[in-house]
Amino acid sequence: MLKGSRCTSCSRSYIPPFAFCPHCVDSKVEYVDVPGEGRVVTWTRTKDGTVLVFVAFDGLEGGILHRYVAGSDPVEGMRVRPRFRAERVGSILDIEGFEPAR
C-alpha cells in the first residue's frame, strides 16, 4: 500500500509524503494510507519508448510520476493502480509501474 502524509493542523494530505506540511509549514504530520487506485492526469512517451504517467489520488495533493506498464497507451482520467514487485525494499522502485485498475 502506498503511504501519504496528512497534516494534523490543517488536514491537508499529500503524496509523496512530506516530513512537514507545505501549506502551514507545520511538522505535525502523520502517515496515511493512499487509496488503491489513482487517475492518470497526463502521460508521455520517452525517446526509448517508455510510457510515463503522472498519477493523482482522490483526497491527496500532489501525485506520482512513474512508468505505465500495460500494452496500450493510457488515457487521461483513466483509473490505474500500482503494480508492486514481488521483492520490496521500501523504495519507490518497489512499484514496477501503474496499470489499468480494471
Least distance (Å) between residue 26 CB and Zn ion:
5
Whichever of 18 and 43 has its CB closer to Zn ion, that residue is: 18
Whichever of 30 and 76 has its CB closer to Zn ion, that residue is: 30
DSSP 22-34: TTTTB--EEEEEP
Least distance (Å) between residue 21 CB and Zn ion:
3
Least distance (Å) between residue 62 CB and Zn ion:
13
Cell numbers 512499484 correspond to 95
Contact residues: Zn ion, CB under 5 A: 7, 9-10, 21, 23-24
Least distance (Å) between residue 34 CB and Zn ion:
18
Whichever of 9 and 42 has its CB closer to Zn ion, that residue is: 9
| 68 closest CA partner among 95, 92, 47 | 95
The whole-angstrom separation of Cα 16 and Cα 19 is 10
Examine residue 82 and say whether the peptide bond preceding it is cis (omega within 30 degrees of 0). Answer: no
Whichever of 7 and 60 has its CB closer to Zn ion, that residue is: 7
Residue 34: strand, helix, or coil: coil
